[in-house]
Amino acid sequence: MSGRAAIVHDRSLEEYGFGEDHPFNPLRIRLTLELCDALGLLDGYDFLAPEPVSEEELTSVHTLTYVRMVQQASRGAGDPERLLDYGLGTPDNPLFAGMHEACSRVVGGTVLACRLVAAGEAEHAMCISGGLHHALRSKASGFCVYNDAAVAIALLKRERPGIRVAYVDTDAHHGDGVQWMFYEDPEVLTVSMHESGRYLFPGTGGVDEKGRGAGAGYSVNVPLEPFTGDDSWIECFEAVVPEVLRAFGPDLIVSQNGCDGHALDPLTHLCATTRLYEHIPRRMHELAHELCGGRWVALGGGGYDHWRVVPRAWSALWAAVSHRPLPERLPEGWLLEHAQHSPVELPRLMRDDPADYPPVPRIKEIEAANRRAAEAALKTVLHLIRR
Amino acid sequence: MLLVEDSMTREVVTVSPETRADEALALCRERRIRHLPVLEDGRLVGVVSDRDLRSATPALGDPARAAALRRLRVGEVMSREVVTVRPDEPIEVAANRMREKGIGCLPVVEDGRLAGIITTSDVMETLVFLVGANEPGSRLEVLMPDRPGSLAGVAGIFGELGINIVSVATGPRQKFPDGDTPGRVAVFRVDTINPSRAIEVLRRAGYVVLWPPQGS
């Protein structure tokens, strides 16, 4: 039985962004949704528009002082020096007018998606503007001002006491913000697979970060070597994610689907292709049906090759969420419309051709190191997780 | 900053030469430590490790072990020639002393009095904070000419781009890829998820960015 999927979106969510020249650019969202539409994947679906979350809801995970700082920054007030202490006004997180409202609305999107799924009004839901996983309690970080997934999980816990939520993050960067916010909480399992923090931002996400106190075992980290490709990534995903999710027994799964691990992404050093970004949503979907009656909320995240990677990867995500097969070709109309603006040549096929992505040198060492990381991750947490 | 007194443990668990081996081992277990300074009349006379105590008695499982551990006194197995460090010495001096002597801890002595203890774990923790590995950041390795002003040049580029430096460490000398120019590698942790612009400017200015590799 496959139930109804929901897509949470509104044009106003695209106001969250840091300008034309910044990697975190709402163009990614626009191109994705236009591609989904042109592929016919949105036929029969209306966007469900979210309300912004309230200040009170934001403070379920953020400090009031920090929210006040964002509000000041949002209306062009506030002492720039002081704002810097909160990560606001840096090159990563430049100030823009209305940033508080825009980000509160993105958080509202993820909250709405989670509420719909938890209440059974939708079986699965996607909010592609969500996935701002680096935002910390009192600090903007890595393009993220408020932590939508963390707020949504905290509100689910408040509204449905005892609910167990699994958060699975396959962005190329470690899902640090969400991890730290639930680091001592055994009711929220956070799983992050990412490029090793040895070089890449934020630098955390080692296997030993397993949670603390009652939450020990409920933070799972699988750091992958730079230049990891589809095969090794999928192998590690399959070794770790199903097993820890089964051990935990979630009532609802939230996935952060950053697609910045693609070989073309300018900010990271991984070598995945669209194969990975088709595999992960398909498996999250299956696991949600196996473990929690299909209750699955899919979010976006990183992804900085705006033209070639993000629209295809996230269309594949929506296809999985909405139980539709992924078409083979990009529609001529979409290509025609965007070819003139795109600074790079646009792909014509939805799936990458493996021949365009030859294996990297040292692949055996990379695969062996990743296998060790996956084994170590399981060994670190599995004996601590209780249903 | 970076002195022994900034990293040492001040509340030291000590024993006397007359302490029984089994009691000393129990202390190590309870407090999860491996080294015990030995004091006599308030004076440091030795150091004993859990390993000294174990290897001086019959092996685990031997029925004679418990009795031997009760009989044995710390004074019989402790090292008497204790290598120490002063609290005002730099931490790298302590680290190097431990490395050269092949030991895992140094009692910290001030005016003949035991003021603390510093172990390899304390040094490791200091290293973690020193390189800023506990704060969000990206790691860049930059090969710069081994000349005055090089580091300022790199730091200036980060400064102009508004990128905050979390930590910087420079390493030993190393030649440029041309095999000629003397260089030095610096490892920066910078507070940004997006170092690509900085990398581009650094390369244009003639610095060699060793990590991340070009073209990825």
**Which whole number is the average pLDDT over A347-376?**
94
Is residue A90 a part of any domain in this protein?
no
Check residue A321 and give its pLDDT.
98
What is the rounded CA–CA span in Å between residue B164 and residue A108? Answer: 31
CB nearest B136 (choices: A23, A202, A266): A202
pLDDT tens by residue, A266-287: 999 999 999 999 999 999 999 9
Same CATH fold assignment for domains B4-128 and B138-211: no
Q: pLDDT (tens digit, 0 to 9) for every residue of chain B, 216 residues total?
A: 889 999 999 999 999 999 999 999 999 999 999 999 999 998 999 999 999 998 888 888 888 888 898 999 999 999 999 999 999 999 999 999 999 999 989 999 998 899 999 999 999 888 888 777 778 889 999 999 999 999 999 999 999 999 999 999 998 888 888 888 899 999 999 999 999 999 999 999 999 999 887 764
What is the rounded CA–CA span in Å between residue A294 and residue A253? Answer: 9
**Which whole number is the average pLDDT over A326-353?**
96
DSSP A200-267: STT----TT----GGGTTSEEEEEE-TT-BHHHHHHHHHHHHHHHHHHH--SEEEEE---TTBTT-SS
Closest CA to A233 of A379, A375, A371, A372: A371
What is the rounded CA–CA span in Å between residue A137 and residue A155? Answer: 15
Quickly state the pLDDT bin for A338 (edges 50, 70, 90): very high
CB B4 within 8 A of CB B89: yes
CB nearest B196 (choices: A200, A203, A266): A266
Nearest CA in chain B to A87: B191
CB A295 within 8 A of CB A165: no
- Report the half-sphere exposure of A235 (CA within 13 A, side-chain side): 16
pLDDT tens by residue, A66-77: 999 999 999 999
Best A83, A201, A209, A270 member to test B by mutation, with max B CBs in 10 Å, is A201
Please state, in angstroms and as integers, the Cα–Cα distance from residue B156 to each residue in A80, A84, B131, B213, following that order: 21, 19, 19, 22
pLDDT tens by residue, A220-247: 999 999 999 999 999 999 999 999 999 9
Is residue A58 a part of any domain in this protein?
no
Does B124 contact chain A (CB < 8 Å)?
Answer: no
Phi, psi of B109 (to 5 degrees): -120, 130
Check residue A2 and give its pLDDT.
46
Phi, psi of A166 (to 5 degrees): -105, 130
**Which 8-state DSSP code applies to residue A329?**
B
**Looking at the predicted structure, is the pLDDT value of residue A202 above 90?**
yes
Q: Do β-strands A47-48 and A124-127 pair in parallel, antiparallel, or remain unpaired?
A: unpaired
**Which whole number is the average pLDDT over A344-365?**
93
- Which is it for the CA torsion A365, A368, A372, A378, positive or negative? positive
A202 contacts B192? CB cut-off 8 A? no
Is residue A86 a part of any domain in this protein?
no
Best A24, A81, A92, A139 member to test B by mutation, with max B CBs in 10 Å, is A92
Residues 6+ apart with CB under 8 A from B139: A198, A199, A200, A203, B187, B188, B189, B211
CB A341 within 8 A of CB A192: no
Please state, in angstroms and as integers, the Cα–Cα distance from residue A222 to each residue in A165, A169, A238, following that order: 19, 10, 12
Check residue B173 and give its pLDDT.
86
Is residue A236 a part of any domain in this protein?
yes
> Could you tell me which residue, B166 or A291, shows the higher pLDDT?
A291
* Geometric angle at alpha carbon A263, from A257 and A269, rounded to 5°: 90
Check residue B211 and give its pLDDT.
84
Beta bridge partners of A297: A125, A254
- Which of A9, A100, A133, A134 is labelled catalytic? A134
B163 contacts A142? CB cut-off 8 A? no
Is residue A83 a part of any domain in this protein?
no
pTM, to two decimals = 0.84
CATH value of B4-128 in 3.10.580.10, 3.40.50.12780, 3.30.450.20, 1.10.1060.10: 3.10.580.10
Active site annotation includes A133: no
The ranges assigned to domains in chain B are: 4-128, 138-211
- Chain A residue numbers with beta carbons less than 8 Å from the beta carbon of B211 are 199
Helix ranges, B136-192 (H): 150-160
Nearest CA in chain A to B198: A91
Residues 222-281 of A with CB under 8 A from B: 226-227, 266-267, 269
Quickly state the pLDDT bin for A3 (edges 50, 70, 90): low
Check residue B215 and give its pLDDT.
60
CB B191 within 8 A of CB B136: yes
Nearest CA in chain A to B211: A199
CATH classification at residue A178? 3.40.800.20
Give the number of domains in chain A: 1
Residues 6+ apart with CB under 8 A from B66: B22
Segments forming the whole domain that contains residue A156: 5-52+99-381
What is the rounded CA–CA span in Å between residue A216 and residue B111? Answer: 44
What is the rounded CA–CA span in Å between residue B84 and residue B112? Answer: 11
**Looking at the predicted structure, is the pLDDT value of residue A1 above 70?**
no
User: Which CATH number is associated with domain B138-211?
Assistant: 3.30.70.260
